[in-house]
Amino acid sequence: MKVLHKYLRIFILLFFTIFALTIIQAQSSSDLRINEILVINDSNYIDDFGQRNAWIEIFNTAYNNVNIAGMYLTDDPNNPQKYRIPKGDPITVIQPRNYLVFFADNHTTRGILHLNFDLSNSNYVGLFDVNGTTLIDEIRFPKLESDISYGRINDGAEQWTVLQKTTPKSNNFTGVMYNSGDEFVKIDPYGLGMTFVAMSVVFLSLILLYLVFKNTRRLYTLNLKRLFSKEMNMPENEGLHDISGEVNAAISMALYLYRNELHDHEETVLTIKKVARSYSPWSSKIYGLRTSHR
């Protein structure tokens, strides 16, 4: 039991440690990436005022929410605090593996997503942390044609390229995507490998269950020996070696009932009940028979 309690404490400690680390990472600004940029917008993405302007897409690579409020966007590496993203608006919370688009239109009166600079005279975009000095991400982009964006080949990836199809608030990769299941079908078209894996899992599970139940029975027998030896004041190594399972079960039940006071209470007063008869044996007819002698 002491070993079990020890492992239980270790498990609880690890659980709370992982939970605390998850909370700490929940607001990690290092998970944000500049994901796509469009400079000349003639017939592309429209903002909430019906205008077409340059835009910058920020991608949250994490699997938790990240609030970009308080951080800085700039088009000048010498002025990292050019535009501070205001706090207090839920729109700045970027959902897991999701996007937020800022408009570089130099019209801050249109909302917090509208920056105080445009990209007409710059080829640089930088994202800085709330302290205004720690660089989170930056990109220098080439000269781009109208309605042609510059972005990462895959969301959050390292490699950048000119994208012929703009993808604001969506995945940069627009080709055919294959998941792990599709790749497995290519390798194992007839399902033989999948069958082997499934049967292996089943048999390994059965073996594991057998070992668990076997060790559980051994632990139960050991505890029963200790309990029996304690109650009968005999050494632990004696007493139950030559006793069958049925006898052990009966002893266990008796000890359980005894310890929980579930046994019957014997009466010490004997009561003899009188048997009432409706006739007397002396008046029975068999005693009135006479033997006839001739």
In a domain, 20, yes or no: no
- Which helix (H) or strand (E) element contains residue 94? strand 93-94
Summarize pLDDT for 194-252 with one digit per residue, the tens.
Answer: 788 888 999 899 998 888 877 777 776 666 666 656 555 555 555 545 567 777 778 77
172 and 196 part of one domain:
no
Residue 70 token pair: 């308080």
pLDDT at 25: 46
- Give pLDDT tens digits for 32-62: 999 999 999 999 999 999 999 999 999 999 9
Q: Does the residue 209 lie in any domain?
A: yes
Residues 54 and 110 placed together within one structural domain of the fold: yes
Enter the tokens of residue 202. 């089943």
Which has more confidence, 192 or 79?
79
User: Whole-number mean pLDDT of the chain?
Assistant: 81
Three-state secondary-structure class, residue 255:
helix
Q: pLDDT tens across 164-199, in order?
A: 899 999 999 887 766 667 677 777 787 777 788 888
- CB-CB neighbours of 172 under 10 Å: 23
Q: Are residues 57 and 120 in the same domain?
A: yes
- Could you give the 3-state DSSP secondary structure of residue 99? strand
Answer whether 141's CB lies under 8 Å from 35's CB: no
pLDDT score for 17: 67
Q: Are residues 161 and 36 in the same domain?
A: yes
Q: Is the dihedral of CA 23, 24, 29, 31 positive or negative?
A: negative
**Percent composition of the chain: helix, strand, coil (DSSP 3-state, to 5):** 35, 15, 50
The reported pLDDT for the residue numbered 266 is 57
CA distance 180 to 25: 28
**Percent with pLDDT over 90 in the chain:** 49
Q: Where in the sequence is the domain holding 252, given as residue range(s)?
A: 192-259
Of 26, 89, 78, 82, give the one whose Cα is nearest residue 56. Answer: 82
Task: Give yes or no: residues 115 and 164 share one domain.
Answer: yes
Mean pLDDT of the region 55-82: 96
Q: What is the pLDDT of residue 287?
A: 54
Out of 130, 152, 176, a domain closes at 176
Give me 111's structure tokens.
């909302």
Residue 275: pLDDT over 90: no
Let me know if residue 114 belongs to a domain: yes
pLDDT score for 1: 52
pLDDT tier at 8 (50, 70, 90 boundaries)? Answer: low
The Cα–Cα gap between 161 and 151 comes to 6
Model pTM score = 0.57
Mean pLDDT in residue range 94-117: 96
| Whether residue 166 is found in the same domain as residue 237 | no
165 in the same domain as 79: yes
Q: Find the mean pLDDT for residues 61-77.
A: 95
Domain count, the chain: 2
Is the domain of 34 the same as that of 140? yes
Q: Which residues, including other chains, have CB under 8 Å from residue 171's CB and lie 6 or more apart?
A: 154, 155
- Rounded mean pLDDT of 3-20? 63
Say what the pLDDT of residue 216 is.
Answer: 77
